Amino acid sequence: MSISNWKYNTEQSLVENHGLKHDEFESIVEGLGREPNLTELGIFSAMWNEHCSYKSSKYWLKKLPTSGDRVVQGPGENAGVIDIDDGDVAVFKMESHNHPSFIEPYQGAATGVGGILRDVFTMGARPVANLNALRFGEIDHPKTKHLLSGVVEGIGGYGNCIGIPTVGGEVNFHPSYNGNILVNAMTVGIAKKDKIFYSAAAGIGNPVVYVGSKTGRDGIHGATMASAEFDDDSEDKKPTVQVGDPFTEKLLLEACLELMKEEAIIAIQDMGAAGLTSSSIEMASKGNVGLEIDLTKVPMRAQNMTAYELMLSESQERMLMVIDPTKESLARNIFRKWDLEFEVIGKVTDTKNLVLNMNGKEEACIPINILVEDAPEYQRDYIIREPSKRIKIIQDQFDQKTIIPDLIEMISHPNLCSRKWIWEQYDHMVMADTIVRPGSDAAVVRVHGTNKGIAISTDCSPIYCKHNSFEGGKHAIVETWRNIIASGALPIAVTDCMNFGNPEKPEIMGEFVECIRGMAESCSYLNYPVISGNVSLYNETNGVGIYPTPAIGGVGLIKDLSKTMTIGLKNEGNIICVIGETSGHLNMSQYLSIIKNKEEGSVPEINLETEKKNGMFVLDCIEGHLTLSVHDIGEGGLLIAMSEMCMAGNLGVQIEVKKEFLHAYLFGEDQGRYLIEVSEKNYEKVIALAKDNSVHIEKLGFVGGTDLKINHLNKVSIAQLVEKNSEFFEKYTGE
């Protein structure tokens, strides 16, 4: 920042170290009518950083559709809420914990899981499923193995201990994540529609209560760190990474849900990023009230903590509540029963100020509106790059004899191989309601005590987003939509986690803008709104940023679990059909990347009309019990999807393809396609239904045997496919 004519008593370096720009500090001084003291400076730093204020993204996030017939609560609360019939709702959100996980992978990933769990049960929902979306650098990068092992262990360690199943997710590797890995965590919970809890403080004089664990010095400046680029000294930031305790979180979960049944809670807010600062200010702002807090009463596990430290600590497993004063004793007894802290630390006021006292001294007095309404909002300059151009792929350069060797190489690759090594470390069956386990298109979890379920999927293609951000944004939404359709569910809504580089660079901001535009177009057309989410910017190290990665978590409803679909082939003699047209789009494909070591060409375009038509047709087939297995065709193309169905069902197929350019047909990544397995007796019904709905359908072949055969010329045993598909992580990790 280096302002030569600095005119303030506050040291310029102190302002810089708090991540505030010169003009932002000027706004603070103007709003307060004075310079802030150290505690106030820390509070502004926390609330005005990118991670908490969304100052670079707010303008564009408003372009996303956020409402719908089933939307009960959209963005703005701890999590989004959708109606899933019978008085039930699904509550869900995805959040990032990227920077902490890169610095300290186990605790970073673990506390990421803990944080998103609190966001969900703060709303009154019991969490029923965890998912994750992970991105790592090159497999031979010196840090990748350490980061991968630590993150997976952290996710499993926290989720397994608290007793919430981790039912799905995605893992990919790419050089752009060498300096910044991505750890995005998603949680889904179930609640009653009339028992949702919100965060707006209310009732002048009502007690403000601190519950959960004691406050320590861990995580101070965590939110600020998450809003900054890395450099070679990033290891020095380890003190900003929080330390989690899943056993305490389990107690906190049960205590909160028990108290919620007593109708004692007026408002509740998780202490996440920026800790007591963000929770108190968000509650006051949403309620249009003030708060007065005595920091002396905050439970502490470290001696001589200052007001600054108490307000900025990101110690885990803590909540802030406003409760009914007539039920204070009841609430206290519940939390003491669960061996948790319960302290009245303040009250709701009509001043619309945040007032902090400690040891009889006023440590801060800040109007809430300055912190929230006057927070910076930037419409940053952006440059929209031309999308990558289509390259001509010459058929003569492809020998049909290489199809099987190419297939084996592809399914052995870390981006297409089995993730079994990862998900076997997660308890995905605890609570006994997991219907479809990891490894299918979408996880399916029963709504406890009913015959309905929710389907959940995470997805994104960063390569698409890098080379054509608009189409990439469309892809990210549609990919989860297809996965949910293929499971037999009606897609309802999504949560997002927008992972990008430095927004102050116009080309990076352009990627963000275009991804948002693409996402909005898909969401609007498919009636698939965004109801919650998170933005993670400044994912850069030494000026090198990640590929744009708008990770999407989608949720759908299966009204009758008997109609749930999986990808595994079921019976010999059944017919395999391809839904959707195949032109053989090899540009920007996994085939080019893995086999030809090329990342070039045009991104396959999404035709939303065709996507919706094909998806609804597949769902109609499932609803009519006309299909036995379904799999969407995604990265790697038709042959990869077919191989996955064979491996999941331990059955072979005989494929008959009368196409001249066989590689393009088998490995091309044309969009809007599915593979379906149908019985001979239902085949004509499916064909007739496709004709009635103007859906393109092709008969691909038959189920049977122990090999995957192509035109009687090329074949590979399913046993060999399974072996090759499973070996990467076992060899890589030495397990």
Taking only the tens place, the pLDDT of each residue in 154-193 is: 999 999 999 999 999 999 999 999 999 999 999 999 999 9
Q: What is the pLDDT of residues 17-48, one digit of tens each?
A: 999 999 999 999 999 999 999 999 999 999 99
C-alpha–C-alpha distance, residues 316 and 110, integer Å? 11
Looking at residue 539, its amino acid is: N
C-alpha–C-alpha distance, residues 356 and 43, integer Å? 11
Structure tokens at 431: 């609570």
In sequence order, the β-bridge partners of residue 549 are 499
3-state DSSP assignment of residue 566: coil
**Relative orientation angle of helices 328-337 and 246-261, to the nearest 10 degrees:** 150
In sequence order, the β-bridge partners of residue 83 are 89
3-state DSSP assignment of residue 606: coil
CB distance 465 to 499 below 8 Å: no
Q: Which helix (H) or strand (E) holds 53?
A: helix 50-53
Annotation marks residue 22 as catalytic: no
According to DSSP, the β-strands at 182-192 and 166-173 are unpaired
Q: Which segments of the chain have a pLDDT < 50?
A: 1, 222-227, 234, 236-238
Other C-beta atoms lying within 10 Å of the C-beta of residue 33: 6
CB distance 497 to 551 below 8 Å: yes
Other C-beta atoms lying within 10 Å of the C-beta of residue 407: 25
Question: What are the backbone dihedrals phi and psi of residue 716, each rounded to the nearest 5 degrees, phi first?
Answer: -150, 140
Structure tokens at 373: 């309404």
C-alpha–C-alpha distance, residues 638 and 660, integer Å? 16
User: Which DSSP letter does residue 49 get?
Assistant: S
CB distance 586 to 664 below 8 Å: yes
Question: What are the backbone dihedrals phi and psi of residue 243, each rounded to the nearest 5 degrees, phi first?
Answer: -115, 125
Structure tokens at 358: 């400690």
Residue with tokens 């999807």: 641
Structure tokens at 721: 């496919």
Residue with tokens 């997660």: 426
3-state DSSP assignment of residue 93: strand
Length of the chain: 735
CB distance 263 to 297 below 8 Å: no
According to DSSP, the β-strands at 707-710 and 341-349 are unpaired
* Catalytic hit among 18, 97, 99, 174: 97
Q: How far is CA 599 from CA 177, 389, 391, 544, 667, in A?
A: 16, 12, 11, 18, 15
96-108 burial, b for 16+ CB within 10 Å, e for fewer? Answer: bbbbbbbbbbbbb
Cα-Cα-Cα-Cα dihedral of 600, 604, 605, 607, to 10°? 180
C-alpha–C-alpha distance, residues 426 and 296, integer Å? 41
CB distance 53 to 47 below 8 Å: yes
The CA radius of gyration of the chain, in Å to the nearest whole number, is 26
- What pTM was estimated for this model as a whole? 0.94
User: Which DSSP letter does residue 300 get?
Assistant: B
Where do runs of H (alpha helix) occur along 535-636?
590-595, 608-623
How far is C-alpha 422 from the chain's CA centre?
A: 17
According to DSSP, the β-strands at 353-358 and 290-294 are parallel
Annotation marks residue 51 as catalytic: yes
716 CB-near residues (< 8 Å, 6+ apart): 404, 407, 408, 707, 708
C-alpha–C-alpha distance, residues 211 and 586, integer Å? 55
Structure tokens at 676: 């379906």
C-alpha–C-alpha distance, residues 534 and 94, integer Å? 7
Give residue 85's region: left, alpha or beta (phi > 0; psi -120 to 50). Answer: left
Residue with tokens 């299966």: 558
Looking at residue 647, its amino acid is: M
Q: What is the pLDDT of residues 199-231, one digit of tens each?
A: 999 999 999 999 999 999 887 864 444 445 655
Q: What pLDDT does residue 371 have? A: 95
How far is C-alpha 442 from the chain's CA centre?
A: 14
* DSSP notation for 152-176: HHHHHHHHHHHT--EEEEEEEE-GG
C-alpha–C-alpha distance, residues 373 and 214, integer Å? 31
* Catalytic hit among 51, 221, 475, 631: 51
C-alpha–C-alpha distance, residues 675 and 639, integer Å? 10
Looking at residue 437, its amino acid is: R
User: Which DSSP letter does residue 79 get?
Assistant: S
Q: What pLDDT does residue 713 have? A: 76
E strand spans, 350-472: 353-358, 361-367, 434-436, 443-446, 453-459
